Amino acid sequence: MSSASVTPSLFPSSMLTRLHAGAVIAVLVVERPQQAVHLARALLAGGVSAMELTLRTPAALQCLRAVREEVPEMIAGAGTILRPAQVAEVVAAGGAFGVAPGTNVAVIREAIAAGLPFAPGVVTPTDVDMALQEGCHDLKFFPAEPSGGLPMLASIKAPFAHLGVRYIPLGGVTTANLEAWLRDPDVLAVGGSWLARKELIEAGAWEQITALAAAASGIARKVRAADRKSTRLNSSH
């Protein structure tokens, strides 16, 4: 991610570095705060240090607050931010970042005003253009696979390549295609709901979730190590 240090971003450089190195963000729907805490610890045990708690349940903000208070080493943010008023709620809960499924200009502006690192969702060149006009350079590509996968992302991002935009694909990403997504130089990290599906969370299958996280983080480490090796080789010429 050579552009991370030079491209404007709503995300602090330290967070970008951690997100890029970890390369996987667990995307979660959680019903109870204590579940969220157990989940955060299980993910960390497997090497996944970022999670997006979607605002799809009544207790989502409580879950976010609990993780931020009890598992501070986890980068915990909120997803499915659909209305400007939700931005203040996420900030009050201690959210490290915010994510939306689409490019809602009112939400983006509210996030910027509140100082919340924010990644709007994009799926067309128009979306990317709108997000850039509002100052967003880190974008959620959603839904990634149903929209055409890597070939679609390659087409969408081409006109903006010189601007150093970074993407977080989500939707249809699994351990089977994770490596391919991470090898795209413009992918900051991927979002993964497969790491902790609802049935595993409800069953309290924390060890299984840790195993899934470990498999994903192992792939991520392999790709990032290859990236570093390639960078060193290129810089030596």
Average pLDDT over residues 42-66: 98
**CA 207/CA 117 separation, integer angstroms:** 31
The predicted structure's pLDDT at residue 231? 65
Structure tokens given for 118: 């924010």
The predicted structure's pLDDT at residue 48? 98
**CA 165/CA 7 separation, integer angstroms:** 8
Q: Which residues are catalytic?
A: 52, 140
The predicted structure's pLDDT at residue 234? 60
The predicted structure's pLDDT at residue 216? 98
The answer on pLDDT for 5 being more than 50 is no
Half-sphere exposure of 171 (CA within 13 A, CB side): 19
Average pLDDT over residues 134-161: 97
Lateral strand order in the sheet of 98-99: 118-119, 98-99, 75-79, 50-54, 24-28, 190-192
Q: Contact 119/168 with Cβ under 8 angstroms?
A: yes
Residue 3's pLDDT band (boundaries 50, 70, 90)? very low
Which residues form the domain of 50?
2-235
CATH code, domain carrying 165: 3.20.20.70
**Residue 21 exposed, middle or buried by CB count within 10 Å (0-12, 13-18, 19+):** middle
Average pLDDT over residues 92-113: 98
The predicted structure's pLDDT at residue 228? 82
Average pLDDT over residues 219-230: 90
Using the structure block, give the residue that is written with the tokens 């915990």: 76
Structure tokens given for 165: 């935009």
How many C-beta atoms surround the C-beta of residue 40 within 10 A?
28
Query: Chain-wide mean pLDDT for the chain?
Result: 94
Q: Render pLDDT for 159-187 as a digit per residue (tens, 0 to 9).
A: 999 999 999 999 999 999 999 999 999 99
**CA 71/CA 55 separation, integer angstroms:** 19
**CA 153/CA 139 separation, integer angstroms:** 12
The predicted structure's pLDDT at residue 237? 52
**CB under 8 Å to 116, separation ≥6 — which residues?**
10, 87, 90, 91, 95, 97, 98
Identity of the residue numbered 41: R
Give the helix ranges, DSSP H, for 27-83: 33-45, 60-70
Q: Render pLDDT for 201-219 as a digit per residue (tens, 0 to 9).
A: 999 999 999 999 999 999 9
Based on its alpha-carbon atoms, the radius of gyration of the chain, rounded to whole angstroms, reads 17
The predicted structure's pLDDT at residue 229? 72
The predicted structure's pLDDT at residue 197? 96
Question: What's the structural domain count of the chain?
Answer: 1
